[in-house]
Structures are given as structure tokens and as C-alpha cells.
């Protein structure tokens, strides 16, 4: 499907480009904003635009074509975005406008070529978007989205929604700088956000709010760090006592809750990658099954000497494989202190009988857990310590998850492993002193110049560890810094890595942060010295 033929010419970034004074959406005066910028986040791959202003009918209708156009995913998304776009248009005012106005855009046409709705790594998220006045062949003006998959259509709808802005003078929704011709695709296949529900329980509705907000920046993987040493909130039917490790009986996720989260995410083009971290970070398991501890006084790592330990892991993975269809599954493997193994008599005796050191046993545990995951048709993901300790013995399908610092992804891909970038110095959102530009400038391909090795970097992920975050402050810790990483992962590297980002990116991020707040997301000011802190004083949303 060639865009040149459809649109009549090659597209370019056109970034920055001239925008006429007085035309910027959402402000009575635009002196505060750089008029040469395109206020879409993340920045599309290629685009052109003009200097017209189009009005959008509050009764905007949907027309669908193609094998996948009739998908419930597409239809539900259209209804969601229509509600967002016309949030400020009351039903009373719509009736008045309908009687008195003609509109340039009365319909959005979505053409989806494939009816395949399987959501996996590398699903086609590309789309074409055209927003232009009606021509001689059409009485009703249309916006058009063309995509190979329903998930590309979702991304196109998000971009269209960002082109639409409420005009407070005419009280209509308008598209500025039309006609728009956009061809867009993600730079990386994996664009993730980690949520930690062990350090603090997050209600299902809060998780859904995060997923919804992820869709606004085209992130596509929720890494659900469900359990850890502090709590085990997930129901596992085969081992029903495991969730005795929850903080309380009210801070739990049923199997139905997990299904609901996965389905809610899929409707927004977001995969859910579950994590069961072993053998460390697992003390909470023993609340229901104390035999999993090396001893009552020495409670982690999990007891490597007992077959029942691996039976439980297999049972957990069998149960949750029914819930999580995503091909990647995270097995953790980080921060394993083996002192309990060497100081507990029966484990120490087992090590001696196996002629293993504690380091050998760590390797044995990780590789056995990998075998279990692979037997369930999962691809294992492990934190980088496993690669650092025994790279040559890891299963070659392993995805190495970087976090400790720079330099790991280059080493991993050089040995043929795939890698996910989450350098804690920049992409750990609980590090509140990392400013927006530190997040924005972090580059997953840093130090990797070989094209074939670059292809092995799946993408990256920002991590919302929850020692100091719960439902009361979660969103303002995530946003807007996660959006900075999202543009790095979606947009062309050259387009967002040249020039002064305080000119080319910061005003756009201010604008997007305000868009988030208008959509009900509690995004913190962009330029706080410490993330999630309150504004320093009175002022415009667009300048703090």
C-alpha cells in the first residue's frame, strides 16, 4: 500500500514549519508558544500541512472499509475518541450548532486492510491520516485513516484527536493547519511502562486509567510487575494459598480482574507482559506456602533444593498462561542474594551433593525457570544480572532487560540476544530527580552502530517502581516524563535528536502535558526540579 499514489507525492517531516499567527489551538494568545512547531506527541514519522482551519461536526460519524474496518476494536475506539474530542460540547449546544452551522469534517472514514486482531510483538501499527476539506466528488467532508491492522487504526485515531481542538470563541471543534497528510509508524516494536503492584496495591480502575493514558502516547506494552517480596496479590487457582501473601484480603487481583485488565489493554492496542520474579524478590510466596522459604528465619531466595519450588512455579505459569496471551513473559532474576542458601543446612547440603556453588545454583534456578516458561510457549525475559553472570548459558531466545546502566544492550546484541532498554539513570520513574530532558535524550541504540545488531533492540520501557507511589500520586509520577520516553521510542531518531530540544521539544511537551490534564490525567508540571511535586506558584499550564 503505497502512500505516494494515494496522496499524490512524497511526504516530509516539515519540522519545524511556518504556522500563521493566531491559529494555534487551545489558546486565545499564542505568544507563549513557538509558532514553528507541530503540536503532536509523539511526533509522526512524516507529515505535511497547510494553513486552513476546518470545523468538525459534533455529530461526527464513522464509515468503515476493508476486511478489518468492522472490528469492535475500531468502533469502540471511535466512540472513545469522539467523547474526548467533543468533551466540551454540551448536548444543548450541539443542537444549536446543528441547526446553524455547516461543517468541513462530518465523517471519519477508517480503512483497515486485515481482520487479524492478534496483538503480539511487532503488530503493524502504521497508519496514514488525511484531514482535508471535501472536494467535488464528496458532499460530506471526511477525515481518512488507512491502516493495515486495527492497531494502526487506533494510533491514527489518537493522532486525529490531537489535531482537534476546542475553540472557545465559536464553541466548535476545529482542526488547524489543514490539510494534514500524515504517514506514521513506530520506530521500535516494544514501547513499555512497568507498573509495580506489590510495593503498593493499585485498584483495577487505577490500572485501567494508566493503560488509557498509555494509549495517548502510543505506548504498547504494560509490564505488570504483579508480585514481589512485599506482597503476592494475584489469585493462582492451582495454589490458592499464594495470595495469602497479599497485604490484606481487600488488596488482591482475582483471575477475572487480570482477564479484565488484559482485555481492556488489548482494546487500546496494548499488550500486558506479566512478571513472576524468581528466585529473589519472592519472600511473599511463603506466607501461603512456608516450605518455599529456605527457613522460617531466612526467607529468600526461593528454596532451590526442593522440587516443589519448581512445581509451584510451573503451576503459577500454567494458570496465568491462560490469562496473558503476549508472547513475552518476564522471569526477573535480579538482585539475588544467595546467603540464605549457603547458611541453611539442608540447602547447603543439597549444594554439596550437586557439587554446586551458590552462583551455580543461581544459574541452575534461572535456567530451569526459563525451561518452564518456554514449555508454556513463552519467550523468557530476564533482568540483566542473568546475562552479566552467565550469558553463554542463557537460552538463546532470552530477551535481556537492561536496567543497571549503559553498555548492556550493546554487549547483549553483540552476542545475538534481543534487548529492552530501561537504564535506571534515566528511565526509572521513581528516580524523582531525573528531569524531562534526561528522559528524552536517553537513547536505546546508544553504542550500537551495526544495523543488524540495532534490529535486536526491541525498544525500551520506563519503570514505575512503587515503593513511594500508590493510587494517590501514581499518575503525576508517571506523567509527563513517560511521554518523553514515548516520543523517543516512537518517533524517528533524526527528527527528535537535532537542534535545541528546549525549543523543538519542550514547548510541545508542555502542550501535551496540558492535553493530558484536560483528559483527566493528573500529569505533573514538566520542569519541576523533582517529579510529581506541585507547581511553584501561579501560572499557565503551558509554562510550568
Q: Which residues are catalytic?
A: 335
Phi/psi at 365 (5° precision): -65, -50
Whether the Cβ atoms of residue 371 and residue 430 lie closer than 8 Å to each other: no
**Helix 358-375, helix 345-354: angle, nearest 10:** 80
The set of cell numbers assigned to 119 is 496483538
45 backbone φψ class: left, alpha, beta (φ>0; ψ -120 to 50): alpha
Alpha helices in 333-456 (DSSP H): 339-343, 345-354, 358-375, 384-390, 408-414, 424-427, 436-441, 451-454
Q: How far apart are CA 432 and CA 476, in angstroms?
A: 11
Whole-angstrom distance, CA of residue 23 vs CA of residue 29: 9
Q: How far apart are CA 411 and CA 413, in angstroms?
A: 6
| CA pair distance 178, 166, nearest whole angstrom | 15
Q: Helix, strand or coil for residue 458?
A: strand
User: Pairing relation of β-strands 418-421 and 457-464?
Assistant: parallel
Distance of alpha carbon 541 from alpha carbon 530, whole angstroms: 17
Cβ count near 243 (within 10 Å): 22
Cβ(478)–Cβ(428) below 8 Å: no
CA distance readout (Å), 38 to 3, 55, 162: 21, 19, 11
Asked whether 430 and 468 are in contact (CB, 8 A), the reply is yes
Phi, psi (5° rounding) for residue 147? Answer: -145, 155
The β-bridge partners of 329 are: 380
Amino acid at each position: 500500500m503505497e502512500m505516494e499514489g494515494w496522496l499524490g507525492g512524497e511526504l516530509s517531516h516539515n519540522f519545524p514549519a511556518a504556522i500563521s499567527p493566531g491559529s494555534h489551538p487551545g489558546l486565545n494568545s499564542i505568544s507563549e508558544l513557538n509558532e514553528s512547531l507541530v503540536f503532536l506527541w509523539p511526533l509522526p514519522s512524516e507529515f505535511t500541512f497547510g494553513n486552513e482551519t476546518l470545523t468538525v461536526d459534533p455529530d461526527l460519524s464513522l464509515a468503515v472499509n476493508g476486511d478489518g474496518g468492522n472490528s469492535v476494536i475500531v468502533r469502540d475506539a471511535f466512540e472513545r475518541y469522539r467523547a474526548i474530542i467533543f468533551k466540551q460540547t454540551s448536548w444543548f449546544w450541539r443542537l444549536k450548532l446543528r441547526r446553524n452551522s455547516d461543517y468541513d469534517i462530518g465523517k471519519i472514514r477508517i480503512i483497515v486492510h486485515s481482520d487479524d486482531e492478534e496483538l503480539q510483538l511487532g503488530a503493524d501499527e502504521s497508519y496514514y491520516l488525511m484531514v482535508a476539506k471535501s472536494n467535488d466528488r464528496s458532499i460530506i467532508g471526511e477525515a481518512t485513516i488507512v491502516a493495515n491492522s486495527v492497531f494502526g487504526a487506533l494510533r491514527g485515531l489518537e493522532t486525529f484527536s490531537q489535531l482537534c481542538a476546542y475553540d472557545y470563541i465559536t464553541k466548535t471543534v476545529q482542526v488547524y493547519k489543514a490539510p494534514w497528510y500524515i504517514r506514521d509508524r513506530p520506530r521500535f516494536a516494544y514501547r513499555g511502562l512497568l507498573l509495580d503492584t506489590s510495593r503498593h496495591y493499585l485498584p483495577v480502575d487505577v490500572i485501567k486509567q494508566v493503560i488509557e493514558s498509555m494509549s495517548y502516547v502510543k505506548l504498547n506494552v504494560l509490564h505488570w510487575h504483579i508480585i514481589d517480596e512485599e506482597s503476592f496479590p494475584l489469585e493462582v487457582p492451582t495454589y490458592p494459598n499464594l495470595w495469602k501473601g497479599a497485604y490484606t484480603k481487600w488488596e488482591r487481583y482475582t483471575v477475572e480482574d487480570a482477564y479484565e485488565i488484559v482485555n481492556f489493554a488489548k482494546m487500546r492496542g496494548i499488550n500486558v507482559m506479566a512478571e513472576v520474579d524468581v528466585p529473589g524478590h519472592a519472600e511473599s510466596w511463603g506466607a501461603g506456602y512456608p516450605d518455599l522459604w529456605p527457613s522460617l528465619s531466612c526467607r529468600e531466595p526461593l528454596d532451590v533444593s526442593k522440587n516443589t519450588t519448581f512445581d509451584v512455579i510451573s503451576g503459577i505459569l500454567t494458570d496465568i498462561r491462560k490469562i496473558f496471551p503476549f508472547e513475552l513473559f518476564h522471569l526477573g532474576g535480579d538482585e539475588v542474594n544467595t546467603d540464605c542458601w549457603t547458611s541453611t543446612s539442608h540447602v547447603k547440603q543439597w549444594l554439596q551433593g550437586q557439587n554446586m556453588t551458590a552462583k551455580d545454583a543461581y544459574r541452575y534456578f534461572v535456567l530451569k525457570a526459563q525451561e518452564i516458561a518456554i514449555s508454556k510457549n513463552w519467550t523468557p525475559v530476564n533482568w540483566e544480572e542473568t546475562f552479566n553472570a552467565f550469558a553463554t548459558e542463557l537460552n538463546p531466545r532470552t530477551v535481556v532487560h537492561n536496567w543497571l546502566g549503559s553498555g548492556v544492550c550493546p554487549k547483549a546484541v553483540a552476542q545475538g540476544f534481543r534487548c529492552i532498554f530501561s537504564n535506571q539513570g534515566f528511565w526509572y520513574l521513581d528516580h524523582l530527580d531525573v528531569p524531562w530532558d534526561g528522559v528524552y535524550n536517553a537513547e536505546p541504540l546508544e553504542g550500537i552502530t551495526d544495523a543488524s545488531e540495532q534490529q535486536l533492540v526491541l525498544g525500551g520501557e520506563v519503570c514505575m517502581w512503587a515503593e513511594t507511589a500508590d493510587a494517590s500520586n501514581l499518575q503525576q509520577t508517571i506523567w509527563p516524563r513517560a511521554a518523553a520516553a514515548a516520543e523517543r521510542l516512537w518517533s524517528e531518531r533524526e527528527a527528535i535528536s537535532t537542534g535545541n530540544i528546549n525549543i523543538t521539544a519542550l514547548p510541545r511537551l508542555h502542550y501535551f502535558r496540558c492535553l493530558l490534564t484536560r483528559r483527566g490525567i493528573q500529569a505533573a508540571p514538566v520542569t519541576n526540579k523533582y517529579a510529581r511535586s506541585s507547581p511553584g506558584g501561579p501560572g499557565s499550564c503551558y509554562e510550568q
